[in-house]
Amino acid sequence: MNFASDNVYGIHPRILAAIEAANKGTSASYGYDDYSKRAEEKLSQLFEKEVRAFLVTSGTAANGLALSALAPSYGAVLTHAEAHAAVDECNSPEMFTGGAKIIGLHGVEGKITPAVVEKTLKGFIRSEHDPKPAALSITNSTELGRVYTPSEIKALSAVAKSRKMKFHTDGARFANAVASLGVKPAEITWKAGIDVMSFGGTKNGGMLLEAVIFFDTALAEDFLYRRMRGGQLVSKSRYLGAQMLAYLEGDLWLENARQANGLAKRLVEGLKASNRIRMPLPSDANEIFAVMPKKLHDKLQAAGVHYHDWMPDTLGPKGIAENEIFVRFVLSYATPPEEVERFIGLVKDLVSA
Ligand SMILES: Cc1ncc(COP(=O)(O)O)c(C=O)c1O
């Protein structure tokens, strides 16, 4: 039973088949292949706007490169304190931007608010003694399993625009956010004020399936150079394009995300019924954050269930008790539903033993 992450599962068979199908004959390379071109067109259709889309191989590269198009070396990128770009990318955004400061803001459930952004801008980012406010970055769905709604994004965009800042979204789990909200992709991106996004597909069925998508296409002007310099221009680019086409075909991206989110709902229900595991944060998408007794955790570990423990500080002053542990479960499109049931049954048995 593995709930450690959504990247512990493999490649969706339709994406694997698309890689195999692309593996014939010769093809133009370095992004000039038909697959990559068609992928960009399909993404424009999906977002109902002509976009510039650049395929890359990891979410970390997508974030760093996207932010490098928004923030100068003397700039500041404001994001959540637990954002992947702030704390989990080994300063890659700082490297790609040539030194921009990534400033982590506090906010419940992985979300930043207009108030905290305003407070930061007024409080200590004031003049040339401080980094120049360059961009806001949000993660949707957030690192804590919540989703930003269109109106929340619009409110943040209003602050960003009033300060001439650009707006980025880390969409490593964008599909799960769209599936959760039941909105069109445009509604939580450019229609809500997002200029550039990291569009993730690896966690949701791809092998190397990430793109930097520019809704404000003027910002993409030098991106070909940035991607090349960043070592992200893949010579056999047809395989990236083929993955993206298969991912979008027949809304596979959404189907996979709905499946993962649905399994997360079922798991929340099952864990709540145990009366020993509490969920301090609502689970909007495919991640579940839970507090359980350490004793139960030890038994689950002994039974070979995989999941991660998480920083209890995330929960703020309420925190957790001495004898408790804070953990994260992630569901994938490929998580076997029977494993979810088996896990719920195991918890029930351990609790009643
Ligand atoms: C929210 C978020 N953004 C970006 C990434 C980075 O993706 P990758 O591991 O492909 O670099 C991750 C990966 O865990 C993530 O969870």
Distance separating alpha carbons of residues 157 and 192, to the nearest angstrom:
7
Confidence of residue 23 (pLDDT cuts 50, 70, 90): very high
Distance separating alpha carbons of residues 293 and 271, to the nearest angstrom:
13
At residue 189, the pLDDT reads: 98
Distance 323 CA to ligand 1 centre (A): 31
Distance separating alpha carbons of residues 273 and 126, to the nearest angstrom:
50
At residue 124, the pLDDT reads: 77
Distance 199 CA to ligand 1 centre (A): 11
Which residue puts its alpha carbon closest to atom 5 of ligand 1?
Answer: 59
Residues within 6 Å of ligand 1 by CB: 58-60, 63, 84, 139, 143, 170, 172, 202
What's the sign of the alpha-carbon dihedral 277, 300, 336, 170?
positive
Which phi and psi (to 5°) does residue 316 adopt? 75, -160
Instruction: Note the pLDDT tens digit of each residue in 318-334.
Output: 789 899 999 999 999 99
Distance 60 CA to ligand 1 centre (A): 6
At residue 272, the pLDDT reads: 94
Output the CA angle 278-280-283, nearest 5 degrees: 100
**Average pLDDT value for the chain:** 96
Instruction: Note the pLDDT tens digit of each residue in 172-226.
Output: 999 999 999 999 999 999 999 999 999 999 999 999 999 999 999 999 999 999 9
At residue 87, the pLDDT reads: 96
At residue 202, the pLDDT reads: 98
Atom number, ligand 1, closest to the C-alpha of residue 58: 10
Instruction: Note the pLDDT tens digit of each residue in 292-313.
Output: 999 999 999 999 999 999 988 8
Distance separating alpha carbons of residues 15 and 248, to the nearest angstrom:
10
At residue 284, the pLDDT reads: 97
At residue 56, the pLDDT reads: 98
The number of CA neighbours under 13 Å toward the Cβ of 281 is 29
> Tokens for 216?
């404000």
At residue 108, the pLDDT reads: 86
Determine the average pLDDT of the residues in 256-285: 96
Distance separating alpha carbons of residues 40 and 133, to the nearest angstrom:
30
CATH code: domain 256-352 is: 3.90.1150.10
CATH architecture type of domain 13-252: 3-Layer(aba) Sandwich (3.40)
Confidence of residue 109 (pLDDT cuts 50, 70, 90): confident
At residue 317, the pLDDT reads: 76
Q: What percent of the chain has pLDDT over 70?
A: 100
At residue 84, the pLDDT reads: 97
Q: Please provide the DSSP assignment of 188-243 as one string.
A: GTGGGT--EEEEE-GGGT-SS-EEEEESSGGGGTTHHHHHHHTT---TTTHHHHHH
Instruction: Note the pLDDT tens digit of each residue in 37-79.
Output: 999 999 999 999 999 999 999 999 999 999 999 999 999 999 9
Distance 219 CA to ligand 1 centre (A): 23
Atom number, ligand 1, closest to the C-alpha of residue 170: 3
Distance separating alpha carbons of residues 12 and 26, to the nearest angstrom:
25
Which residue puts its alpha carbon closest to atom 6 of ligand 1?
Answer: 59
Domain positions in the chain are 13-252, 256-352
Distance separating alpha carbons of residues 138 and 195, to the nearest angstrom:
12
Q: Please, which residues have CB within 8 angstroms of residue 106's CB and are 6 or more apart in sequence?
A: 80, 81, 116
Contact criterion met (CB below 8 Å) for 248 and 42: yes
pTM: 0.96
At residue 78, the pLDDT reads: 98
Asked whether residue 125 carries a pLDDT value surpassing 80, the answer given is no
Distance 295 CA to ligand 1 centre (A): 31
Displacement of CA 152 from its chain's centroid (Å): 17
